[in-house]
Structure 1
Amino acid sequence: FKNAKCLYLAIRIGDHVYGVIGIPANKDVFDSVEYSILLSVVNECALAMENLRNAIEKEKNAVLAKNEQLRADLLRAISHDLRTPLCSISGNADMLLNNGACLDSKTKQQIYVDIYDDSEWLIGVVENLLSITRLNDGRLKFKFTDQLLDEVIAESLRHISRKHDEYTIVTKCEELILVRMDVQLIIQVLVNLIDNAIKYTPKGSKICIRGMKCNGKAQICVEDNGPGIADEMKPYIFEMFYTGKSTIADSQRSLGLGLSLCQSIIEAHDGRLILTDNTPRGCIFTFTLPLSEVTLNE
């Protein structure tokens, strides 16, 4: 192309062309050294673009692989953990339908309790699944209102399973702490944390829920005096589907969604959820929430 006004060189690796550079042509002709340097620069550009493309593809593949793994874990967890309560409900209902007249009142009462407990557990799992799916997809709409912290804690205790009767649960909350929150989601956080404390501590343990102002924020703690959490497990407890190992809770069902969901909800409130050790034993889950700007007039 003798009439071309530029010298055009392709930035390419193999058959993949990333671009073309044009160098204004003039009467001077590149000597062999200059042309070699120019080709080296073009090749370096092509190599850098190839590396960037490979890094982007690798990142995309890693995200796809993680999503597929999460989906597989979710399906496996659902099929494994939901089968037990569903079979229990079905079996107990069948027994009442076909043999109800042969059962004494005490046995019937226990069957009713078992059906209720399994149903409550399933409802909690479904709520966690829906919330964490909507959070991850960005479809969960927050409804922030100003709420008194002590009333929210009291309301959350009314949603705790009947198993809490076997534990000593106390609340210590400062009065008139007005907090900006989505009340239903924060109740869900408290219910998950308290249920966790019940699940992983022996019967008769003490669980304390504290609420206070700290460094310009509302701080809520859920403390227990159980066996605590091993140091090697602590880095993973907020990961989805991680349930850990516990001699107390090994026989209990858990999808491992609770703490992951709690962390996502608290972060959406511009807060933090952390785990610390209790003294002399046990653990403390602490999270912060923004205080309301509304001033209470006495």
Structure 2
Amino acid sequence: MRALSRPSLQRHLFTAFLLVIGLSLALLGAARVVYVFLERIETRTARLGEVAEATAQMVSSFVNEHRRGIGSLAVAVEEIGGDPARMEQRLAEYHRRYPEMLTLIVTDAAGTIIASERQLSLGGGPLPQARGVSVADRPYFREVRARGLPYISDGFRGRGFGSDPVVAISAPWKTAAGAFGGVVEGSLDLSRLSEAKRIFKRLPRLLIAVTDRQRQLLWSGPVRLAEPLTRIGPTDGPPGRQLLGRAAVTGVGWEVTVRQPLRQIIGDATQEIWSTLALMVVAFLPSAVFAHRLARRTTRPLAELSSALDQVELGNPAPRAIPLPAGAPHELASIEQSTDRLLERLRASYDSLAKLLAEREASIEGEIRQRTHAERERDQLFLLSQDMLCIAGFDGSLQQINPAWERTLGWTHQELTERPYLDHVHPADLAPLLGELQRLRVGGTTIDFEMRLQTRDGTYRWLSWTAAAQPERERIYAVVRDVEARKKLDQMKDDFVSVVSHELRTPLTSIHGSLGLVLGGVAGEVPEKVRALIEIAAKNSERLVRLVNDILDIEKIESGTLVFRPARVELLPLVEQAAENNRAYAQQYDVEIRLSARAEAQVWADTDRLQQVLANLLSNAAKHSPRGGVIELGMTRTPGWVRIAVTDHGPGIPVEFQPRVFEKFAQADASSTRQKGGTGLGLSISKAIVERHGGRLWFETAPDNGTTFAFELPVPEG
């Protein structure tokens, strides 16, 4: 009777199951609400950035179109000469093409207006009483005259044009003799940015603002953020927290900001929150029914086991009974009573058998656990890996793949395993792939082999393979990584470096030449303190010119457009000339260049490119030589070849850096190399030049014992 008063095990289980289900639903609901809110914020922030970038591109296109128009108008003025009537006729023609210009003027070299035209909506024709007025004090005249380049002003209110802001766009024009003739200037009406209104119609809850370099408000919509030309900060706007998207207007230094109040996003997510709460309530009711049935089902076998134990006979295993804890369910008490009766009948024969069975069971269970654990870990690793894992055959079949293959290529598991993967390989990559398969077939390994596989949509993706094989089982085990994004990023980086280098080359050359003229006394005697500063500027501009030239050479080498002009040349005079040309550079580091060995040889070579190689090697040796040291430049002959070696007695190349010596931008110690100058491109360029001549470039080094860079060139017969 004591056992019947205990709490039911079924009630315990029901309560526990219900708590677990309720807490799980609450956590899942809360996680979903947080996820929805954060996802909305992330998506909306990205969208604001896209809107800002689109608006910035429209503004840039609008302004640059008129800047180009003013430039072409300046060219037309140069062709006309000094005829004001023809100038005003040309200004009127321009106005008809660009009605956004409020006024147009042409000045002479002194800043006096000699021709003008006003907007058609203002009556057209020359500006009243404008001819003969001086604008020499206006920034759009002063800046163009001082710099000789087109100019775009910050926003201002034009006289007689209301409160809308305008900007001045001006460009110089020259006389027939090439002298400064004056400027052509137009006042651009920024209220005519009509293209952005279509964005407002699609996204009416956004607030878009355009500011100039002084953070003056040039334009805002669909509602006015502040008075035009008011200085505003990035976070100014309606009260409350806001999401912000920003983008720069290319070429003019302006900025576009797009704002949206956070409360609007919260309002958008409210319906999702209420639907989640309703779903939790609806899911909880059947969960309670499920918990009750699960608890009842769990306790039923215990009662049945209690009944079965009463019928156990000798020879069957009989575990020892243990005392029940206080408050244990009555089902366990029933099991205890049945077990006690059974133990009285079977204990004599059970002890020895239980010991044997326990040992065997422990051994078997341990082995099963180990195997199960190993298989589970392997399966989980295979399924959850973000990399594409596979087991393939030498016949081109994919025998086992993980889900990453389907995510990356779009093919189903069945489509990938039924067709040979060779059918998906890009035609240009098939021959290199067959070479790698042959390497694996003889027991080799493949590391970071890159090739392209076709996706379901017909495009190709770059994949990097690392694989090993079991030739005796005809199997290949591979880890494949999607490197498409890295390939695109590398291409974007190369394109960016190429464009920037080309854009920098001309102004840097002009700056370097101008500084040289000033140091040469063209502008008069230069004070000593000023000379020191100009010399620093000249050296740094020369360094930048070398950097840009190196980058352009690398770009040409990689694109196969580097021009070579080979001729049959005597190599010894070229080597002697290189030593003489670089002697002054070496003296900056207190280092001597010594020609240690000479040999006569003629080669087919581009002399300028070989001088570039020797200059790179000699300057590199000078920078890494100890003060007072000697650089040995030697030239020797071998059958069919001529070898040139440059040896320094510096600290040598660190072991960990040696595999990357000829890589682009590679520097053993970026901090010290930067102090001594250098871009990390010279050795890469030199290696490419030598190889284009049919030779090879290598190095030999030892710690604290110097480094020798040597290259060989073929010597033509006869």
Scaled to the shorter chain, the TM-score interval is: 0.5 to 0.7
- 281, 289, 296: which is aligned to 2:713? 289
SS at match of 1:147: strand
In the alignment, the residues of structure 2 paired with residue 88 and residue 142 of structure 1 have an alpha-carbon distance, to the nearest angstrom, of: 27
User: Is 1:234 matched up with 2:658?
Assistant: yes
* SS at 2:673 equivalent: coil
2:551 aligned with 1:129, yes or no?
Answer: yes
Which consecutive residues of structure 1, in runs of 5 or more, have no partner in the other structure? 1-12, 18-39, 79-85
Q: Which amino acid aligns with 1:262?
A: S
Q: Work out whether residues 223 and 278 of structure 1, in 8 Å CA contact, stay in contact via their aligned partners in 2.
A: no
Q: Which has the larger radius of gyration?
A: 2
- Is the counterpart of residue 65 in structure 1 residue 497 in structure 2? no
Displacement of 1:90 in angstroms is 9.7
Structure 1 match to 2:678: 254
- 1:89-144 residue CA offsets vs partner (Å, 9 max, x unmatched): 999999999xx97944xx57755654554344334333322322211111122211
1:214–1:50 Cα change, 3 Å? same
Who is 1:49 aligned against? 423
Matched, 1:267 2:691: yes
Partners of 1:280 and 1:290 in 2: CA distance: 32
Residue 202 of structure 1 corresponds to which residue in structure 2?
A: 626
More off after superposition, 218-227 vs 46-55: 46-55
Residue in 1 aligned with 2:596? 172
Question: Helix, strand or coil: the match of 1:157?
Answer: helix
Unaligned runs of 5+ in 2: 1-405, 426-452, 464-482, 503-509
Q: Deviations over 1:52-86 (max 9, x none)?
A: 426951248253333335567789999xxxxxxx9
- The alpha-carbon distance between structure 1 residues 57 and 135, as it changes in their structure 2 partners (threshold 3 A), is same
- The 2-side partners of 1:58 and 1:42 are apart by 17
Distance in 2 between the 1:278 and 1:145 partners?
A: 37
- Alpha-carbon distance in structure 1 between the residues aligned to 2:415 and 2:671: 63
Distance change (3 Å), C-alpha of 1:115 and 1:163: farther
1:46, distance to aligned residue in structure 2 (A): 6.2
**What CA distance in whole angstroms lies between the structure 1 residues aligned with 2:606 and 2:494?**
27
Q: Following the alignment from structure 2 to structure 1, what is the Cα–Cα distance between the partners of residues 677 and 669?
A: 12
Q: Structure 1 pair 288/175, CA: closer, same or farther in 2 (3 Å)?
A: closer
- The one-letter amino acid of 1:163's match is Y
1:166-206 CA-to-partner distances (Å, cap 9, x unmatched) read 21111134332112211111110110111111122232221
Q: Structure 1's 92 and 41: CA in aligned 2 closer, same or farther, altered over 3 A?
A: closer
Would you say 1:157 and 2:579 are equivalent positions?
Answer: yes
What secondary structure, in the 3-state scheme, does the structure 2 residue paired with 1:251 have?
Answer: helix
- TM-superposed CA distance for 1:221, in Å, is 0.6
Q: Which stretch shows the higher mean deviation, 209-218 or 154-163?
A: 154-163
Q: Is the 8 A contact 1:117 1:161 kept in 2?
A: no
Contact map agreement 2:599 2:637 (CA 8 A) in 1: no
SS in structure 1 of the partner of residue 667 of structure 2: coil
The superposition leaves residues 192-251 of structure 1 with CA deviations (integer Å, 9 ceiling, x where unpaired) of 111111122232221111111124211111100011111111101111011221775341
| CA distance 1:174–1:254, shift in 2 (3 Å) | closer
In the alignment, is the contact (CA less than 8 A) between 1:177 and 1:212 conserved in 2? no
Higher relative contact order by CA 8 Å / sep ≥ 6: 1 or 2? 1
Q: Which runs of 4+ in 1 moved over 6 A?
A: 13-17, 72-78, 86-97
Find 1:223's aligned residue among 644, 647, 650.
647
Q: State the match for 2:568 in structure 1.
A: 146
